[in-house]
Structure 1
């Protein structure tokens, strides 16, 4: 038994449980941000929605806007895996169509509506916009490593770095294009799913034009 466990009488949280708690806090924060705005939302309210204290919320996140980061970052490794699996000579969108629909790490179901609402908020909430852009800054090196591995190039090679920047920008533009043009009043979940898939497919087709000469 660890010292921490003997002091509290409870076993320490596993990494999986910590990740689950972070995601629960993120979803609760988004619901509150959408319902009443970021300024009116407190750490106490976020914690109450999840069943934890505000102190616990701040243990996981440095500020309330940062609470949304797990939702933004959820698909980064999935996308990187798809890039590694992209076969030479095959359309880029094919790699994603084969893997994304069955990968449980990606946001799906009601969370797609949540993500759409959250991305729309980034237009008017500077703190959320900063978190959104920071997520893409962190994603780009992961995409570059995946493209380098696929091509058998060193991780520091300039070519996959540039390709990752192109891909990352296209991915962000596609998600924003979808989120800023789809409203809850006019789109049901099934239609939203189809529209998001179509938007991402179109973006991948465009970016593939710049990546088509990859090995």
Structure 2
């Protein structure tokens, strides 16, 4: 009989892995499951303002490792040693063409019962985009927040699958973006995620979790 872990047990068991075992690659099925989680991630107004770059072999991971030089060299072994590294990137602008493509896909997937329903949806999307473009002036930050929604789902899914993971902001975005040709695509890297199985040098595997007391984190209303 299989034993299913509760969400709390998964959250307590997962942690940020500090070293990987290159001899223990993920299976193709595991990789596809993780990519499905990213693909189906939620985003504000279903804007999907992201692009995910997949480094699944040594050559691809070496390209990503170009962004972990100098002050960020401590992350290079994780990038090179993991089985899979993902670059989570955000659009540099939320363009009208991108929103139109989202609406076209929603229509193709059968989400609109009528042209009126699509028009109402388009109006709602335009309102949110205009809010962040012209009133809050935080459109790029808004899009990056959607990327972090995807990151959270990915990390929890990896934990549920018994896969180790390391989210990394410790890299040079300008160097990495240029190495991967992201500016020409209207994209900018936001965060890296290494995935695989922990190695013998993973000192964090035996350390206890540390969080502030629950009384400082939760308020019952």
Smaller-chain TM-score bracket: under 0.3
TM-score, normalisation: structure 1 = 0.26
Select the structure with the greater relative contact order (CA < 8 A; seq sep ≥ 6): 2
Structure that is richer in helix per residue: 1
Structure that is richer in strand per residue: 2
TM-score, normalisation: structure 2 = 0.26
